[in-house]
Amino acid sequence: MRIDVVSIFPEYLAPLELSLIGKARQDGLLELNVHDLRTFTTDKHRTVDDTPYGGGAGMVMKPEPWAQALESVAKPSEGAKPVLIVPSPAGERFNQALAYELAEEEQLVFACGRYEGIDERVIEWAQEHFTVRPMSLGDYVLNGGEVAVLAMVEAIGRLLPGVVGNPESLVEESHSDGLLEYPVYTKPSAWRDYDVPAVLLSGNHGKIAQWRRHEQFRRTSERRPDLLAEFDAGSLSRADRNALADLGYDVVDGRLQARHGDAAS
């Protein structure tokens, strides 16, 4: 996969040299390039912004530097458009399912906006050359797109073959199946009057798997009940249904429905 990031603060992306993503770059599993938007300006002040038409506070990023930058990094493959991701509070919510989807693409381009954002004409023009996908990490506002890009590149990059040493760890983590991950423990088995759950010391892998599954339901019910509302419950086992019933959930038409005043919140 090739990833290109355009920003006026390329130094902000330095952490992508570290840890698993940095190693993936060194091993040739991921090509990642960071570009300074200011190199695509033509005036001596390297200006990338101007006042907004119609008035109002703040500045807006100028269209021409962005068009020049995006044209320079676009590498269409066999007629397929690269995917242009524009971090924006007005974008679709980024999640694990999207991370898996984007990990299948050949090229991702991230446009890190600043100030009041990028001139909207850039987004309209870019649709001729890219599959444009504005995306949001959550319902809050950041100073720029760089923080969001760091998060998205790590979430996507770690799904590429060979990046994570043990691929099985990707299967059991939070959001991989619509649930939060179960609690994890390590040695010692007793620490400051807190003990590891006995089932994890039993050696009974069937019971351990069942405990972990039920802990996923419990933790998700307590911390993110909204995920259970979207969970596809049509193929749940009897044991899963019983565990959810204990938490105050019934399966109705293939979906989980909380009993009023009974489910964890």
Flag whether 137 is marked binding. Answer: yes
Cis upstream peptide for 197 (omega within 30°): no
State the Cα–Cα distance between residues 5 and 220, nearest whole angstrom. Answer: 34
State the Cα–Cα distance between residues 82 and 130, nearest whole angstrom. Answer: 5
Flag whether 141 is marked binding. Answer: yes
244, containing H or E segment: helix 238-246
State the Cα–Cα distance between residues 38 and 11, nearest whole angstrom. Answer: 13
Strand partners, 134: 86
Flag whether 139 is marked binding. Answer: yes
Number of CB atoms found within 10 A of residue 103's CB: 17
Q: Pairing state of beta strands 194-195 and 131-136? A: unpaired
Q: Say if residues 25 and 31 touch (Cβ distance below 8 Å).
A: yes
State the Cα–Cα distance between residues 54 and 60, nearest whole angstrom. Answer: 12
Flag whether 113 is marked binding. Answer: yes
State the Cα–Cα distance between residues 134 and 115, nearest whole angstrom. Answer: 16
Flag whether 142 is marked binding. Answer: yes
Flag whether 261 is marked binding. Answer: no
Q: Pairing state of beta strands 49-50 and 31-36? A: unpaired
State the Cα–Cα distance between residues 247 and 114, nearest whole angstrom. Answer: 45
**Lookup: tokens for 60:** 């807006």
Binding residues: 113, 137-142
Binding residues for S-adenosyl-L-methionine: 113, 137-142
